[in-house]
Structure 1
């Protein structure tokens, strides 16, 4: 976490001797900006990874725990979070026939802002026949934050995607409710599907009414998407699996739908992020088997 600025002490003004040069006051520290370009390809029967970054955001070494066909990558941001004015921009290109799974070692944190928003963007392009699993751990929106999290996935015919967006408002377990601030979520498949919402701490109807979140502070979206229409039997199998795993928990309502022939979506809300994340991991594992005939292979960082 970035250290807060020190407050001046109440000392008497220092007397400057005549003729002494006076240094100008220090300029405010600029916001931190980072860019990361990820590129996945297929070389000699192996999914490969290349990256280029500017700033603090970067990736760890590529791993292949499932064999050469699938590349696992972990994004790391050493500052530990974003404050007002910070910006993280990620570009991800998945070349033909490559398969990548991208995650994070911990939550992405949006801290209190003094006025400027903190923004994270992802622009991913999946070429023909590719697979991408975009599975970062949850986002934490601290009280008084002004945050935006935008993700856009462009899929060529035959490309397929698993992606999720999990958000927790405030730190209720620590008695720090989301009482002020605003957070915007944006999840888009251009020309196919768009989910965008703004969560304002002053919007009581959205956050507290029975027709809204009813006091729940965690919400999320899990999507399976294809660059081509999903065959009806396959789509129905995905929906059935999600509904069976999600049913029976009144404290964590969830619903699975197919708003477009190329998209299957599971949405859920909860009073805590842990039950929601557990559900999404279960459904992702079931969907991975149904859609790709692959067993789940949870990244090792999820267990640390």
Structure 2
């Protein structure tokens, strides 16, 4: 069965509280809103009950955070692109953050199984005064289970128009890309994290965000680096042999960015511990 699913999430301010309204079509929805940090920050978990994404499936999330809101969105487990007989599967997130709003987009990893035909897109739209922390983690195959990503195609796009565009296709047969030191260097997990502002970060604050990202220790076998390609954006990229050490690094960087930019403690979502 092929699924076409759409989830619309709209966060607004209601007095001293961030509240959410959602509409869904198909098997993509959110669990109950949680407030472990108090009423200012709404934590949401997006679930896809079928579990895996197969050829022909389309999963789209549209999110808007209105002025004065702070939303944290995550998932309970990995997004899994399974083998396809030909049709492409698509997962897309369109994220709009209004002036004075904060968004944390923190899904767990995406796994590209051997033989998948998949496309993953994240589109950002930040108004002046908006701020966001986000990440994207791609794992090729199941190294621990002995299943290599030796055929199949995965296309990735991270796009903030006029500011940042990263896109490319990984072909499982392209050993030059996957094994070369100029490519994936034999690793099979690629992680990208960002902290973004609709207005230029002050130079001193941008330097501080870069510094705290670079100070976080990476586990053995993980290669990571932080950079700023635009005054509105600080990036961290990492290559790792497994998902777990990559996620540990991203969670540490996210906590450091939260403290530095927003003077907030980490408050990791409870679902990450289950």
Q: Give me the TM-score of the superposition, normalised by structure 2.
A: 0.98
Whole-Å Cα distance in 1 between the matches of residues 252 and 209 of structure 2? 12
State the match for 2:242 in structure 1.
272
How many residues matched?
274
1:37 is displaced (CA, Å) by: 0.2
Query: Could you tell me which residue of structure 2 aligns to residue 6 of structure 1?
Result: none
Matching of residue 75 in structure 1 with residue 46 in structure 2: yes
The equivalent of 1:260 in structure 2 is 230
CA distance in 2 between counterparts of 1:157 and 1:144 reads: 42
- Tell me which residue corresponds to 2:267: 297
Query: Which deviates the most, 182-191 or 224-233?
Result: 182-191
Structure 1, residues 206-234: CA drift from partner, whole Å, max 9, x if none? 10112111110001100000000001111
1:88 and 2:59 matched: yes
How far apart, in 1, do the equivalents of 2:132 and 2:156 lie? 19
Alignment deviations for residues 247-288 of structure 1 (CA, whole Å, 9 cap, x no partner): 6x5611101000001000000001111100000000000110
Report the 3-state secondary structure (helix = DSSP H, G, I; strand = E; otherwise coil) of the residue aligned with 1:84. Answer: coil
1:129 to 75, 82, 100: 100
* Structure 1 residue 189: Cα displacement: 1.1
1:119 and 2:90 correspond:
yes
Q: The residue matched to 1:97 in structure 2 has which SS?
A: coil
RMSD: 0.9
Instruction: Trace 1:43-192 onto structure 2 (pairs within 5 A).
Output: 43-192=14-163
Q: 5+ unaligned residues in a row in structure 1: which ranges?
A: 1-28
SS in 2 for 1:205: helix
- 1:166, 1:221 within 8 Å by CA — same for their partners in 2? yes
Q: Secondary structure at the match of 1:66?
A: coil
Deviation at 1:246, TM superposition (A): 4.2
- The 3-state SS of whatever aligns with 1:173 is helix
SS in 1 for 2:204: helix
User: What is the aligned partner in structure 1 of residue 258 from structure 2?
Assistant: 288
Measure the CA separation in 1 of the matches of 2:145 and 2:78: 16
Structure-2 separation of matches of 1:70 and 1:221: 24
Contact 1:246 1:254 in 2 (8 A): no
Partner of residue 42, structure 1: 13
Residue in 2 that maps onto 1:241? 212
Alpha-carbon distance between aligned partners in 2 of 1:96 and 1:231, rounded to the nearest angstrom? 21
Give the secondary-structure state (helix, strand or coil) at the position aligned to 1:185: strand
Change (3 A) 1:299 1:250: closer
Distance in 2 between residues matched to 1:146 and 1:232, nearest whole Å: 42
More strand, by proportion: 2
Q: In the alignment, is the contact (CA less than 8 A) between 1:246 and 1:255 conserved in 2?
A: no
1:63 deviates by: 0.7
State the Cα distance separating 1:192 from its structure 2 match: 1.0
> Are residues 246 and 189 of structure 1, via their aligned partners in 2, closer, same or farther at CA, if it must alter by over 3 Å?
farther
1:215 aligns with 2:180: no
Question: 2: distance between equivalents of 1:93 and 1:242?
Answer: 27
**Residue 194 of structure 1 pairs with residue 165 of structure 2:** yes
- Secondary structure in 2 matching 1:38: strand
Cα shift at 1:134: 0.2
